[in-house]
Amino acid sequence: MTRLRRIYLESIGLDYDPRPPGSAGGSRPLTKEEGLKELREELGDCQRCPLARGRRNLVFGGGNPDAELVFVGEAPGRDEDISGVPFVGRAGELLNKIIAAMGLSREKVYICNVIKCRPPGNRDPLPSEIEICKPFLERQLGIMGPRVICALGSFAARTLLETEERISLLRGKIWEYQGIPLIATYHPSYLLRNPQAKRDAWADIQKVMEILGLPNAREKGRPTPGQ
């Protein structure tokens, strides 16, 4: 309905107002939760790329729409495709540990992916799939406007930073995405295969914590993910 309204208003040369009908007088802007809900509705039963044919669920993202920290991963895997929830498989378990070591919980952060549907056999997303799905990630981030973004792995980092650089060169620094500090680190799946990289990943996460003003885990006596 919203989409049709937009198309109609644009066709007669009027600006589209995304506020719910009846709220315009009070000029109440959409809450972040409402903005995300509307974006999810716009995606609908998305058929914009061939991944739609093989998916069970579109994995839009989850967590707190008002989060100060947004994690961006690559694409749903098998468990996420089944559940419709991002990062619930083995990589998700490790991400949960990282989040807990930061002194946070999944309810306090927001988690989403560059592409919303599972590539067959968990293959890498194709450039065409990223191109089609990226505007929705951009709008998700635009609606939330978090204080910091943590890009998990090369696909998220390269997509948001518009570079072909390797993750090993992108990590460890503070970048900027649309004025928001962005820190790239290794993807949890990579860390499961290469546990020796956890030390570097934890150093990256500590940069995120510094930006958020979160106390260091060791000061708090919490276990770090590498322990």
**Cα–Cα distance measured from residue 107 to residue 206, given in angstroms and rounded to the nearest whole number:** 20
**Cα–Cα distance measured from residue 29 to residue 27, given in angstroms and rounded to the nearest whole number:** 6
For 66, other C-beta atoms within 10 Å of its C-beta total: 13
74 in contact with ligand URA (CB under 6 A) = yes
Q: Which is nearer to ligand URA, 68 or 80 (CB)?
A: 80
Q: At its nearest, how many Å lie between ligand URA and the CB of residue 68? A: 20
Q: Which is nearer to ligand URA, 19 or 55 (CB)?
A: 55
Residues 101, 225 contacting (CB under 8 angstroms):
yes
Residues 199, 218 contacting (CB under 8 angstroms):
no
Q: At its nearest, how many Å lie between ligand URA and the CB of residue 127? A: 17
Residues 147, 212 contacting (CB under 8 angstroms):
yes
Q: At its nearest, how many Å lie between ligand URA and the CB of residue 87? A: 4
Distances (CA, A) of 189 to 62, 96, 143, 174, 200: 19, 13, 28, 22, 15
By three-state DSSP, how is residue 46 classified?
A: coil
Taking CB under 6 A as the rule, which mask of x and - marks residues 178-217 in contact with ligand URA? -----------x----------------------------
Q: Which is nearer to ligand URA, 115 or 217 (CB)?
A: 115
75 in contact with ligand URA (CB under 6 A) = yes
Among positions 35, 62, 63, 77, the unique one binding ligand URA when judged by CB under 6 A: 77
86 in contact with ligand URA (CB under 6 A) = yes
By three-state DSSP, how is residue 141 classified?
A: helix
Among positions 113, 140, 154, 185, the unique one binding ligand URA when judged by CB under 6 A: 113
Binding interface with ligand URA (CB under 6 A): 73-77, 80, 86-87, 91-92, 113, 189
